[in-house]
Chains A and B, each alone.
Chain A
Amino acid sequence: MPDAIQVNDEKRIVHIRLRPLWAYVDGIREFARFFCSTTFDEGVADRAQLVIHEMLENAVKYSSRESDEVELAIRSDGGSIDITVANQPTPDSLELLRSEFASLSERDAETAYVEAMSRATQLPSGVSRLGLARIRFEGRFELSLTEEKDGRIRVTASGKI
């Protein structure tokens, strides 16, 4: 089980800390979707589950060690929703992430997703690199990347409700 799940319905906040294990990803998506559907409308809950799944998948796939901690936080002020996932990435995956963010910043959400799908056909089997572009286009969330001094990163997706 994840180490800690804290839910504050009044402030519409969820904070989950977990080890980067694949087995947790889908269960947390389902929990987060349920939480969001009790707080927001179904459309927002649908978009949020996509964002949470893709961001957690990335954090689990690209964390340095299984002993590292991944954090998921969902916050809402009523008009918008912020979803943040923090983890300790491997050096290679951090470089890739920086490159993806640079590429996304130069394109609108639709163009970036079409290009990402087209690019996917050229990538090795099993690699999609669609997640971030999908969050922007399908989820209608904007993304930001924060690098901390200790090597941890925070990816935040912000969307209107």
Chain B
Amino acid sequence: MSTNGIASIGTFEADNLRIVAESPNKVVMSGTITAREPMKTVQPFIEKIHAAAIGAGIKELTVDIRSLTFVNSSAIRVLINWVMLVKGESGPRRYKLQFVTSRAVTWQRTSLPTLQSLAPDVVVLSS
């Protein structure tokens, strides 16, 4: 297991979005995602994080989205894909996604519990 975890992945910035691999097992997402095709921009970075998390043998990855104030439906699809990627792994490659959410952000109050219902054994919610 790498001691750097996902931290070596660095930072992704595009439009109003910033994603920082802040520590070995923590990602912070902030801003908004309103791009027409986040699948082509954000998704590849998420896949890098996913690969690094598996490579580092991480058991739980914290994703702090409290400052991600608005996302469009295409961005929700990117989050769904991430959850399904993890769900498709097994054994030591499987890790938990702990989303740190804010009750003050409308989309997080409603869409995250629904996302959790797709894979309750993968998604953990905290605030």
Binding site for B on A (CB under 8 A): 22, 25-26, 29, 43, 46-47, 49-50, 53-54, 57, 61, 110, 113-114, 117-118, 120-121, 125-131, 134, 137-138
Cβ 8 A contact of A130, one of B36, B37, B76, B118: B76
CB of B80 within 8 A of CB of A120, answer yes
CB of B34 within 8 A of CB of A26, answer yes
CB of A125 within 8 A of CB of B73, answer no
> Would you mind naming 19 contact pairs between A and B with Cβ atoms under 8 Å apart?
A49-B70, A53-B72, A57-B36, A57-B73, A113-B114, A117-B115, A117-B118, A120-B76, A120-B77, A121-B81, A125-B39, A126-B39, A126-B40, A128-B77, A128-B80, A131-B73, A134-B76, A138-B107, A138-B111
The number of chain B residues touching the other chain, given as a range, is 20 to 34
Known: A26-B34, A53-B72. 6 other contacts (CB 8 A): A22-B36, A29-B70, A43-B106, A118-B118, A120-B80, A126-B39
The A contact surface, by secondary structure, is helix
